[in-house]
């Protein structure tokens, strides 16, 4: 079997911007499942990550992949959970993908600095010309929808339950931005001044949106930690959510955190905030990465034939 994920189809380096791909790799790693990891970046037919079975059938998405492999492997990861914990574990994964993932998408695809200076450029290494231009736009559109679903509207400044947060400031910025864009440029100097003002407005708008994201993060992470305490006899230092053993929700949660706190991000506001507000959470993440994550032992294979992310293969899928 093959696990297809985002990564360099040339040198096999795994990309770290997609938490579902990372979580699926963690699962393969911890359960020692005999699966080749293929950094194909090929999402023409299926959403990454997807598991390509020996008969050619594909299973897409972290939750579906784990469900299939747990059934095939006799429950290597979650079999120790009680019936109640098993149901809670599944519910927690839904919460993580619905709420926590929206924060990840904002950090990587909607934060102006991170998207323009880091995330968008990744796709030049992951996909050949001209496909590297469309993929980040698809992710960005999905990020806008996800953020809107959790009550974070980047243009109106609305938060949970329709409660406004800095509404008047956002409206003023949007109005100023509209005026600047509609003002004709008379000279090169005038055009330069207009662009400087517009850039300043965009930075202010980005800062307010970051605060909105942090507002949501505080609520979501407090709920995760409270849930963990309830399942660990009020122990704040237990590494995993259901005790001293891993669960599939732990893997997904740590994958989301890793994507949100990448050191290479130009605007690492989320990591700064989490270090300040939730230092125990960051300590758990670092322990998880240092003691459990090791990509060196993965069986990585470069994509070939129809799995290669070429323009020719893409056109074939459209026919």
At 43 the pLDDT is 77
Residues 110, 143: contact at Cβ < 8 Å?
yes
pLDDT at 178: 56
Residue 206: predicted pLDDT: 64
pLDDT value for 203:
55
Per-residue confidence (pLDDT) for residue 196, from 0 to 100: 57
Please state whether the predicted TM-score (pTM) of the whole model is above 0.75: yes
The pLDDT, as a whole number, for residue 22 is 97
* Per-position pLDDT tens, the chain of length 319: 999 999 988 888 999 999 999 999 999 999 888 899 999 888 766 789 999 988 888 999 999 999 999 988 777 899 899 999 999 999 999 999 999 999 999 999 999 889 999 999 999 889 888 778 888 888 999 999 988 888 776 654 444 333 344 444 555 545 555 554 556 665 666 556 555 555 555 555 566 778 888 989 999 999 999 988 888 766 666 788 888 789 999 999 999 999 999 999 999 999 999 999 999 999 999 999 999 898 888 999 988 877 777 666 666 555 5
State both tokens at 96.
């993580």
Burial letters 135-164, b for 16+ CB under 10 A, else e: bbeebbeebbebbeebebbbeebbbeeeee
Q: What is the pLDDT of residue 250?
A: 95
Region for residue 158 given its phi and psi (left: phi exceeds 0; alpha: psi -120 to 50; beta: otherwise): beta
Q: Is 309:40 a contact under the CB 8 Å cutoff?
A: yes
- The confidence score (pLDDT) of residue 161 equals 37
* H or E stretch covering 3: strand 2-4
Closest CA to 36 of 51, 48, 21, 49: 51
Looking at residue 152, its pLDDT comes to 73
- Determine the pLDDT at residue 205: 58
d(CA 22, CA 15): 8
């Amino acid at each position: 079997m093959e696990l297809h994920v985002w990564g360099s189809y040339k040198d096999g380096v795994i990309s770290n911007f997609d938490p579902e791909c990372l979580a699926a790799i963690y699962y393969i790693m911890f359960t020692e499942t005999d699966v080749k990891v293929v950094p194909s970046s090929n999402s023409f037919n299926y959403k990454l990550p997807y598991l390509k079975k020996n008969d050619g059938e594909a299973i897409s998405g972290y939750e579906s992949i784990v469900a299939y492999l747990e059934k095939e492997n006799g429950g290597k990861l979650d079999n120790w959970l009680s019936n109640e914990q098993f149901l809670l574990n599944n519910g927690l994964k839904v919460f993580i993908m619905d709420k926590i993932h929206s924060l990840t998408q904002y950090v990587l695809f909607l934060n102006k600095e991170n998207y323009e200076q880091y995330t968008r450029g990744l796709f030049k290494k992951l996909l050949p010309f001209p496909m590297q231009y469309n993929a980040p736009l698809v992710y960005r559109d999905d990020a806008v929808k996800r953020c809107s679903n959790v009550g974070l509207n980047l243009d109106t400044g609305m938060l949970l339950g329709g409660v406004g947060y800095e509404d008047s400031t956002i409206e003023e910025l949007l109005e100023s931005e509209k005026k600047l864009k509609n003002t004709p440029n008379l000279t090169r100097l005038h055009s330069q001044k207009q662009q400087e003002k517009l850039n300043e407005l965009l930075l202010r708008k980005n800062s307010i949106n970051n605060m909105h994201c942090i507002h949501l993060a505080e609520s979501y992470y407090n709920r995760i930690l409270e849930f963990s305490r309830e399942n660990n006899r009020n122990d704040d230092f237990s590494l995993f959510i259901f005790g001293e053993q891993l669960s599939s929700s732990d893997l997904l949660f740590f994958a989301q955190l890793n994507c949100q706190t990448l050191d290479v991000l130009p605007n690492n506001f989320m990591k700064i905030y989490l270090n300040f507000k939730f230092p125990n959470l960051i300590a758990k993440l670092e322990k998880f990465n240092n003691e459990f994550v090791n990509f060196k032992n993965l069986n990585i294979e470069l994509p070939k034939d129809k799995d290669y992310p070429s323009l020719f293969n893409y056109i074939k899928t459209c026919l």
